[in-house]
Amino acid sequence: MADDILGEIARMLVEVVGEDFLQDVEIGMDTAFNEELALESIEFVALAQRVRDRYGDGTDLAAFVADLDLDRLTNLTVGDLVRHLGPRVRPAGV
């Protein structure tokens, strides 16, 4: 399940940022949005929209991000996002 979500997030990141910027980066659970991907704020918003479109309103990424403290937000990883989504995403066919 987590692998599925990770794959989806990686695909969405390519859509948002473009392959050129990500060609030297292997996106994994420990990949940091800020430090490694240098994702801009509007790009993260676009990613959040794609997550909502894919997984529904229950993912509520805006509230998730708003509740994070400064350190956690600065060091947010793809894995943090995947773990947030895990319980909120129904496995296919359920």
Partner 1 sequence: MSFVHTRDARFHVIDLTPAKPAAPRRALRREPVVMLHELFTGSAASWFFTIAPAVARTRRVRLPDWRGHGMSERTATGYGAAAMAADLAELTADLPPFAIAGHGHGASVAVRLALAHPGRVTRLALIDPPFPSPRAVRPPASAKVPAWATAVPGAALIAEASPPRAARVVATAGARAAGESRCAGGAPLAEAARDGAGPGVAALVRQASRRPDSGGRRRLAGLLHETRVLDELAADPPVTAEELAALGTLPVLAVVGTDSPFRPAAEPVERALPRSRRHVLAGGHDLHITARARLTRLLTTFLEEDTCPK
Two structure tokens written together for 19: 């392959």
The minimum distance between CB 3 and partner 1, in angstroms, equals: 25
CA distance 45 to 62: 8
Quote the CA–CA distance of 68 and 56 in Å, as a whole number. Answer: 21
22 touches partner 1 (CB under 8 A):
no
**What does the alpha-carbon distance between residue 80 and residue 57 come to, in Å, rounded to a whole number?**
18
Q: Which of 66, 91, 93, 94 binds partner 1 (CB under 8 A)?
A: 66
Any contact of residue 1 with partner 1 (CB under 8 A)?
A: no
Chain residues that interact with partner 1, rule: CB under 8 A: 21, 33-34, 38-46, 48-49, 53, 57-58, 60, 62-63, 65-70, 72-74
